[in-house]
Amino acid sequence: MSETDDPEQDLGITESKEYATGDWYAEVVQKANLASYGPDGMSGFIVTRPRGYALWERLEAHLDGMFKQTGVQNAYFPMFIPESYLEREKEIVEGFDPEVAWVETAGTEELDERLAVRPTSESIINPYLSQWVRSHRDLPIRVNQWCSVVRWEATETKPFFRTKEFLWQEGHTAHETEAEAWDETTTRLDQYESVYEDVLAMPVLRGQKPDHDKFPGADTTTTVEALMPDGKSVQGGTSHYLGTSFAEAFDITYADEDETEQTAHTTSWGLSWRSLGALIMTHSDDQGLVLPPTVAPEQIVIVPIWQADTKEAVLDYASELAADLDDAGVRVELDDRDSRNPGFKYNEWELKGVPVRLEVGPNEVDDGEVTAVHRPDGETVTLDREGVNEAVRGELDEVYAKLYAAAEETLDGEIRDADSRAEILGTIGQHGGYVRAPWCGEEDCEAKIKDQIAAEIVMVPFPEDDDHHPDNEASDDEASDDADCAVCGEPAVRTAYYAKTY
């Protein structure tokens, strides 16, 4: 399949990342062949094309590997959940009323009880954990599924960021003690952080959601947050310590060593293809998609440059180079199409986000060299043909490091401090990004920001990560030790990060 050969295809990105971020994003997603919009009558759905799905597969392989090394087993639960099962969850907390799609008719049959297409699977997985857990010897139990879920959100669709059906993984675990369950919660948060930092080349902020913004029924919701170029924060993955509330509602109990019945502590955690949206949005530019080598379907494209009299020598040289890299495990594409000139090919592979282009012409053949060009910044390096496999790995690592460094620099520059309501509002209004401010812990104070500017507290750092936290003894930030809430002036208990969100 070579979708790119279509001569009618318009390769250029016409929108500007800086001035029309949303339109630019939609254009990149479509022109880089990552996704198409769903059928007529199904707004909010997307078709994930092979180049888009390949990103998800690589992310999944990495995260699934980490899960398996840390005791997680995959399973598969039905995609439908009886309404009465969902209702049980409502007992835990009011307000959990997801926008679900309902099946009421199947075949010729009117169902006695309507079935929800799963919006998340706590209410069907927990009853089985209850059956499977009898003794402390059955704990911990950790199940995960890679699947799609459906949430009938009315808001505007953005491929990967917000779709009515989305791919994700959801993990559900039960443990003997709070300490173990909390450890599980942070282990998964660490792994989500690793996905961003080690696979997607993006730094993230980690912390917990304010109590009023937790997953309903959770004791604590932890999150990794990523900053988008338009200054908004994306929730990159969440890991919930559920306390014993779900275990009580679904009767997940176990006999301890003394044969006394105890209630388990449970967790759940999920990461969706929104992470791909964040990836595309963060690194890409007005030439198109930019990808780190970790997830790029092709890490290297070789573009041979020839005239009639040099064609054979150049193509031989390029083919051998491609074969060597392939043998070395590099994902390499040799673009030897006759029907396209090198300039066209450069543009096309830049649009598609190949991290490093290797140019091979008569000069390279004569000198035993290869010219490497980095996708993010066009930096050009001459490599010796001998030892090229190693050298190419080095260039790929360098591209990764550049992408990470650029994202980190952006993030660092977009965290600003404020200590009054006016300053929070003004700073977010003017710059976007994160505004860090002492907070008393009351929802009311957040509301006074949210009502004015649609920004909210996206994250509260864990005390141990927070050098602005008043309780943090190790802090050298004297000012925060006795800080007052930036909004109400009462004593602050935590540092809050305010931002606009996706």
Determine how many CB atoms are found less than 10 A away from the CB of residue 142. 20
Tell me which long-range contacts 479-486 makes (C-beta under 8 A, separation of at least 24).
Answer: 480/438, 483/419, 483/438, 484/419, 484/438, 484/440, 485/437, 485/438, 485/439, 485/440, 485/442, 485/445, 486/418, 486/419, 486/420, 486/421, 486/423, 486/424, 486/437, 486/438, 486/439, 486/445
Are residues 417 and 435 in contact, defined by beta-carbon separation less than 8 angstroms? yes
Q: Is the dihedral of CA 158, 27, 301, 410 positive or negative?
A: negative
Among 19, 69, 94, 131, binds its own copies (CB under 8 A): 131
Residue appearing with tokens 């598969």: 76
- The distance of closest approach from Cβ of residue 304 to its own copies in the complex, given in angstroms and rounded to an integer, is 19
Q: Taking contact as CB under 8 A, which single stretch among the options 110-118, 260-268, 319-327, 484-492 is the one that binds its own copies?
A: 110-118
| In 391-446, beta strands by DSSP E | 415-417, 434-439
In terms of Cβ atoms closer than 10 Å to its own Cβ (0-12, 13-18, 19+), residue 454 is: exposed
Binding residues for its own copies restricted to 381-400, rule: CB under 8 A: none
Of 48 and 472, which CB lies nearer to its own copies in the complex structure?
A: 48
Among 135, 341, 382, 501, binds its own copies (CB under 8 A): 135
Q: Is the dihedral of CA 44, 50, 51, 52 positive or negative?
A: positive
Binding residues for its own copies restricted to 22-41, rule: CB under 8 A: 36, 38-41
Of 103 and 401, which CB lies nearer to its own copies in the complex structure?
A: 103
Among 91, 99, 316, 471, binds its own copies (CB under 8 A): 99
Q: Evaluate the omega torsion of the peptide bond into residue 140 and state whether it is cis, within 30 degrees of 0.
A: yes
| Cα 9 to Cα 7: distance, rounded to the nearest angstrom | 5
Among 43, 84, 341, 382, binds its own copies (CB under 8 A): 84
Cβ neighbours for 285, distance < 8 A, ≥ 6 positions apart: 17, 376
Of 115 and 278, which CB lies nearer to its own copies in the complex structure?
A: 115
- The distance of closest approach from Cβ of residue 112 to its own copies in the complex, given in angstroms and rounded to an integer, is 7
Of 277 and 461, which CB lies nearer to its own copies in the complex structure?
A: 277
Size of the site for its own copies (CB under 8 A): 73
Q: Taking contact as CB under 8 A, which single stretch among the options 147-155, 387-395, 429-437, 447-455 is the one that binds its own copies?
A: 147-155
For residue 439, the cross-strand partners are: 494
349 binds its own copies (CB under 8 A): no
310 binds its own copies (CB under 8 A): no
Q: Taking contact as CB under 8 A, which single stretch among the options 148-156, 226-234, 319-327, 409-417 is the one that binds its own copies?
A: 148-156
- The distance of closest approach from Cβ of residue 413 to its own copies in the complex, given in angstroms and rounded to an integer, is 36
Q: What DSSP string describes 287-354?
A: TB----TTT-S-SEEEEE---TTTHHHHHHHHHHHHHHHHHTT--EEE---SSS-HHHHHHHHHHTT-
| Cα 465 to Cα 207: distance, rounded to the nearest angstrom | 8
443 binds its own copies (CB under 8 A): no
Of 175 and 436, which CB lies nearer to its own copies in the complex structure?
A: 175
- The distance of closest approach from Cβ of residue 184 to its own copies in the complex, given in angstroms and rounded to an integer, is 12
- The distance of closest approach from Cβ of residue 258 to its own copies in the complex, given in angstroms and rounded to an integer, is 15
Q: How much is the CA Rg of the chain, to the nearest whole Å?
A: 26
Among 26, 93, 117, 415, binds its own copies (CB under 8 A): 117
Q: Which two tokens stand for residue 286?
A: 């007005």
Of 81 and 396, which CB lies nearer to its own copies in the complex structure?
A: 81
Binding residues for its own copies restricted to 60-79, rule: CB under 8 A: 71, 73-79
138 binds its own copies (CB under 8 A): yes
In terms of Cβ atoms closer than 10 Å to its own Cβ (0-12, 13-18, 19+), residue 289 is: buried
Closest CA to 119 of 150, 157, 158, 159: 150
262 binds its own copies (CB under 8 A): no
Q: Taking contact as CB under 8 A, which single stretch among the options 113-121, 308-316, 395-403, 463-471 is the one that binds its own copies?
A: 113-121
49 binds its own copies (CB under 8 A): yes
Of 110 and 309, which CB lies nearer to its own copies in the complex structure?
A: 110
- The distance of closest approach from Cβ of residue 272 to its own copies in the complex, given in angstroms and rounded to an integer, is 13
- The distance of closest approach from Cβ of residue 202 to its own copies in the complex, given in angstroms and rounded to an integer, is 23
Of 260 and 307, which CB lies nearer to its own copies in the complex structure?
A: 260
Q: Which two tokens stand for residue 161?
A: 């960021």
